[in-house]
Amino acid sequence: METTRSDEGLALLGVLLVLTVLTLLAMSLTNAARQEIVSSSDRWRRAEAEALAEAALHRAIFGLIDPLPGSAWRPDGAERSFTFVDREILIRISDETAKIDLNAADVTLLANLFKAVGLEDEEADALADRIADWRDADDLVRLNGAEARAYRAEGLHVEPRNAPFETIDEVRRVMGMSHALYDCIKPALTVYSGRARVNFRAAPPLVRKALGLLEQESNPPDEGIASSTPFGPALAGRALAITVEVPVEGVAPLRRHTIVRLTGNARDPFWVHAQSDTASDDSEDRFCELLRDEV
């Protein structure tokens, strides 16, 4: 039986269709393989950065408890660096007692913190009282405070816990606390010192302003901090904030924030209270600095 040109054309069209499908399938598999390679590379870089961050954390702990005379690091907020597997890793250590403890600070200090970033007296006093009402165990309303009834009246879906703050992020739920205000005061806050008094010699500028110290000083705020900051065995029982920054090829550095408490026990030298990883970004610090410059 003879094939017609029409049959030959249909056969050729079928072959071309199959080839097109196979080509598209090959391209899809190639793209999938390429994406998997990229994804695997990203996972590898992330895993490597996390391992380096963990190594840097332990390097910082060793620096803090180094027994050699004059070798121990101080939690003075100074930036340090060391090179590990050809990466320059940055470390900054600060003392949590140099911050304002949300659970221990009195309302006057809390109000002064809000005034230090530009709030009017009435609003600052109200926020301080609301923080105190959030953390105390009773339902009595302070002069400018707020308990559960006030939150319900405002249509809010949260109520005071009537218990200590577990994290500083929890203060965002206090009535009247804005995101911008929280972002500014966050570096000045802690829940780990357990102290009403602040280690003012190691305190950052915002805390010193809240304490009324900046106006009284003719010297720069950080002068004398290093020499007066405790170190070595004197840090046993202290909560410290350790920030490490690890460069990552092709993307922003990995920044790891860890709150640790030194134990003074050589076999178990520290406990981790909290840890978080972020891409390195100084925008929050710049924002807070701008607010400080304006007040």
The DSSP code sequence of 88-126 is: EEEEEEEEGGGSEETTTS-HHHHHHHHHHTT--HHHHHH
Q: Which amino acid is at 194?
A: G
Note the CATH number of domain 106-177: 1.10.40.60
- Rounded Cα distance between 54 and 270, Å, is 14
Q: Looking at residues 248-256, what average pLDDT do you find?
A: 85
Q: Give me the residues paired with residue 275 across strands.
A: 258
Q: Which helix (H) or strand (E) holds 243?
A: strand 239-248
Integer angstrom CA distances of residue 178 from 109, 221, 247, 285: 19, 28, 33, 17
Q: Looking at residues 208-231, what average pLDDT do you find?
A: 62
Pull the structure tokens for residue 276.
Answer: 């978080």
Q: What is the pLDDT of residue 237?
A: 87
Residue ranges per structural domain of the chain: 55-99+198-295, 106-177
User: Nearest to residue 184, comparing CAs of 165, 205, 213, 157?
Assistant: 205
Per-residue pLDDT reduced to its tens digit, 77-109:
889 988 887 889 999 999 999 999 999 999 999
- Rounded Cα distance between 42 and 33, Å, is 14
